[in-house]
Structure 1
Amino acid sequence: MNLLLRIEGEQEAYLRFARDFAVPFTNNQAERDLREVKLRRKVSGCLRTVKGLETFKAICSYLPTAARQERASLVVLREPFEGRVWISPLATG
């Protein structure tokens, strides 16, 4: 019953994967992307500053996005220091 109540009014979103094959069937990718943050929290207990959290969050989202766009992690990490910043085509619309 709870599942039925959650789906009510959201059928389009829940079944989008059936009409648009670019939409993944599961949210496993999102869960895998969070694994690094969970591991960091488990090992150290926390991030010490807000600035540290923001930096960690930016890198943790930047690298998986680059990998999905078939960009090498080391290359996209080095480019900003060389005056070039890679921006995902998905982010630019």
Structure 2
Amino acid sequence: ILERGFSRNPYQEPKERKRGKPKKGKVLCLLERLRDLKDDVLRFFTDFRVPFSNNISERSFRMSKLKMKTAGSFRSADGGSNFCWIFSIIDTVRKNGGNPFKALEQLFNNSFSLAFLD
């Protein structure tokens, strides 16, 4: 499949010579990354701990990006740090089948533990 992609999208020398490395384009760069990082791209075939896609990580990251988009930014570095700290606990508990509300309740009562993660 990659060979067919390379044959359909050959590298073309730029017409004008500018400083720096000539651009290859998005398609050719993607084909080269797929070729060069084949073991990493297909790792989910051999290591079943690796998910097929990164949708889980993207969903985890979406909440903080949404907060930044609506508020513009966090008011302070401490506020951003606290948000990330609390949200990471909520996300970890939720991904491991726990109740996030109970985890936050335990957190604020100083009885929270991540012992359920082993």
- TM-score tier after normalising by the smaller chain length: 0.7 to 0.9
Larger RCO (CA within 8 A; separation ≥ 6):
1
Equivalence for 1:41: 68
Q: CA deviation at 1:8?
A: 4.8
Q: Which has the larger radius of gyration?
A: 2
Counterpart CA distance in 1 for 2:109 and 2:87 is: 20
Q: 1:8 to 1:84 in 2, by over 3 A?
A: farther
Equivalence for 2:95: 68
More helix as a share of residues: 1
Q: Deviations over 1:33-54 (max 9, x none)?
A: 1111121111111100000000
Counterpart CA distance in 1 for 2:84 and 2:66 is: 13
Counterpart CA distance in 1 for 2:110 and 2:87 is: 21
Q: Deviations over 1:12-60 (max 9, x none)?
A: 2221101122311111111111111121111111100000000011122
| Uncovered stretches (5+) of structure 2, i.e. residues with no partner | 1-27
Structure 1 length-normalised TM:
0.81
> What secondary structure does 1:52 align onto?
helix
Counterpart CA distance in 1 for 2:108 and 2:44 is: 39
Aligned residues with identical type, % of pairs: 31
Equivalence for 1:26: 53
From 13, 28, 31, the equivalent of 2:40 is 13
| Uncovered stretches (5+) of structure 1, i.e. residues with no partner | none
> What secondary structure does 2:112 align onto?
coil
